[in-house]
Amino acid sequence: MRTYLLCIALLSGGLYTEAQAKVFEHTLKNGLKVIVKEDHRAPVVVQQIWYRAGSMDEQAGVTGIAHVLEHMMFKGTKTVPAGEFSNRIAAAGGRENAFTSYDYTAYFQRLHKSKLPLAMKLEADRMHNLKLSADEFTREVNVVKEERRMRTDDEPHALMYEKMMATVFQEHPYRHPIIGWMSDLEALKVSDARAWYDRWYAPNNAILVIAGDVNAKEVFALAQRYYGPIPRRTQPPRREFTEPPQIGAKRLWVKAPAELPHLVMSYRAPTLRDPGQDWKPYALDILAGVLDGNGSARLNKHLVREQQIAADVGAGYDSVSRGPSLFTLEATPSKGKTVEEVEAALRREIALLVKEGISDEELKRVKAQVRAGEVYKLDSVFYQAMQIGQLETIGLGHQTIPVMLEKLGEVTAEQVRQVAEEFLQDDHLTVAVLDPQPLSGKPGTESGGMPHAR
């Protein structure tokens, strides 16, 4: 058994005395990596199991299968009948759920600390004993289709986002929605679920994160007991996808029933790959904070409060992912303003950034928020476990957390200006516009001024 313990103090700055935020790590013989974060404030524990398999690992024609399988994981094993997983967790006073993203699929339970063995037993069981019946599968795909209708088809902003991703990316699987295209959902078979499960659900493709009022050594022993006997599986090599550089701006319009137009500008941006050496992703993180990190951040201050061109604005960037990253700006025009005016206003903000950079006060302000956020996150054991699980599944490792904080602290104002200049360029840009359509029977409205001919 390969055993080693890591102990990481999360903040070196001595900002708070409770910095004994210890993280312990141990890998079972079958390849399951177990990570424990002790937090003794309340007698509760969270178990999260993360599989390195998300929608980006799907093949063409079976989009949505990662997420459908996530649903099927509650539909019974050889010894635990359908629905019983949830019943037993509920009877133990637990709360549970699961989630699927582009990059991973994860399952979790929150319970009283005394119930951890039960949760482990059930989670370990469905890691290798899932029963997939055609009948259950058909019904559950119907549930997922309803989910798709609710979240995407009838949600104009989500619909626009889906179509935007399919435009931004041409080769990388991020172009497919996590929930899957409706035509694929119609065509999925239980054999697709079986193939997905057999391919990815194995201890050596998973990370177990346990956080809460537990003792790391005891957790490792429990993990060995419940997960240890599950055989490792040969993992065929993973197909690595890339997205070639964008060679010119793209633009799309989406028509959907809504009142207000909406604009999203998505720029291709770098992803964090070498946390100790990279600097651009950190500078882009700070840039997102300067634009939209607080009430007095630039976009809100300039576009909503001063110029009153936009009713709402936003900026976002996620450097932590398996695939390519985007830096996005978005805005809803205020009454009487057009998407063209709002786009021009966003472009003026970019030009100003590139020309004059940001002030030291702005930089200091964003860093103060980062530091405070590190303290606030200690109020949520669940969130801390999430952060660990995400960094582990995308391959950076939880040890990256303090490195990232340190590197964020080192970003200079000039670096922020440089990344704005390098990445917020038209050749890397996709512009998506929601063109609102009247509901049938409701007269069209004049707000927005979106040109309909195009």
Partner 1 sequence: MPANNMLVRSIGVLALCCAASVALATPVIQHWHSASGARVLFVEDHDLPMLDVAVNLPAGSSFDAAGKSGVASLAHHMLDLGAEGLSEDDISRGMADIGAQFGGGFDPDRASLSLRTLSSAAERGKALDIMARVLQRPLFPEAILAREKARVIAALKEAETKPDSIADKAFNKALYGMHPYAQPVSGEVASVEKITVQDLTDFYRTHYQAGGAVVAIMGDVTRTEAEAIAQQLTGGLPTGPAAAGLPEVETRITASEQRISHPATQSHILVGAPGISRNDPDYFPLYVGNHIFGGGGFTSRLMNEVREKRGYAYSVYSYFMPLKLPGAFQIGLQTKKEQADEALQLVRKMLAEFVAKGPTEKELLAAKQNIIGSFPLRLDGNRKILDYLSVIGFYDLPLTYLDDFTRKVEQVTVAQIRDAFKRHIDPGAMATVIVGAPAEAAK
Positions marked catalytic: 70
Beta bridge partners of 328: 266, 316
**Contact 315/329 with Cβ under 8 angstroms?**
yes
> CB of 153: closest distance to partner 1 in angstroms?
5
Q: Is 440 in the site for partner 1 (CB under 8 A)?
A: yes
Q: Is 393 in the site for partner 1 (CB under 8 A)?
A: no
Length of the chain: 454
**Contact 52/200 with Cβ under 8 angstroms?**
yes
Return the number of the residue (27 or 173) whose C-beta is nearest partner 1: 173
Candidates 150, 177, 149; CA nearest to 163 is: 177
Return the number of the residue (224 or 338) whose C-beta is nearest partner 1: 338
Over the window 47 to 86, marking each residue x when it contacts partner 1 by CB under 8 A and - when it does not, the resulting string is --------------------x--xx--x-------xx--x
Q: Give the one residue of 125, 243, 278, 312 binding partner 1; rule: CB under 8 A.
A: 312
Candidates 367, 372, 336, 313; CA nearest to 450 is: 336
Beta bridge partners of 263: 331, 433
Return the number of the residue (217 or 335) whose C-beta is nearest partner 1: 335
Over the window 238 to 277, marking each residue x when it contacts partner 1 by CB under 8 A and - when it does not, the resulting string is -------------------xxxx---x-------------
- In the numeric block, the tokens 């006060």 are attached to 361
Over the window 6 to 45, marking each residue x when it contacts partner 1 by CB under 8 A and - when it does not, the resulting string is ---------xxxx----------------------xxxx-
End-to-end Cα spacing for the chain: 64
Q: Say how far residue 237 (Cα) sits from the centre of its chain.
A: 24
Q: Would you state the structure tokens that stand for residue 212, as one six-digit string?
A: 């809460």
Candidates 29-37, 214-222, 328-336, 344-352; binding stretch for partner 1 (CB under 8 A): 328-336
Span 291-310, contacts to partner 1 by CB under 8 A? 293-297, 301, 304-305, 308
Return the number of the residue (29 or 335) whose C-beta is nearest partner 1: 335
Q: Is 179 in the site for partner 1 (CB under 8 A)?
A: yes
Q: Is 100 in the site for partner 1 (CB under 8 A)?
A: yes
Does an H or E element contain 177, and which?
none
Q: Is 150 in the site for partner 1 (CB under 8 A)?
A: yes
Instruction: State the number of CA atoms in the 13 A half-sphere of 201 facing the CB.
Output: 23
Q: Is 411 in the site for partner 1 (CB under 8 A)?
A: no
**Contact 207/50 with Cβ under 8 angstroms?**
yes
State the burial class of residue 99 (Cβ atoms within 10 Å of its Cβ: 0-12, 13-18, 19+): middle
Q: Would you state the structure tokens that stand for residue 269, as one six-digit string?
A: 């941006």
Q: Give the one residue of 125, 155, 278, 422 binding partner 1; rule: CB under 8 A.
A: 155
Candidates 145-153, 233-241, 278-286, 342-350; binding stretch for partner 1 (CB under 8 A): 145-153
> CB of 40: closest distance to partner 1 in angstroms?
9
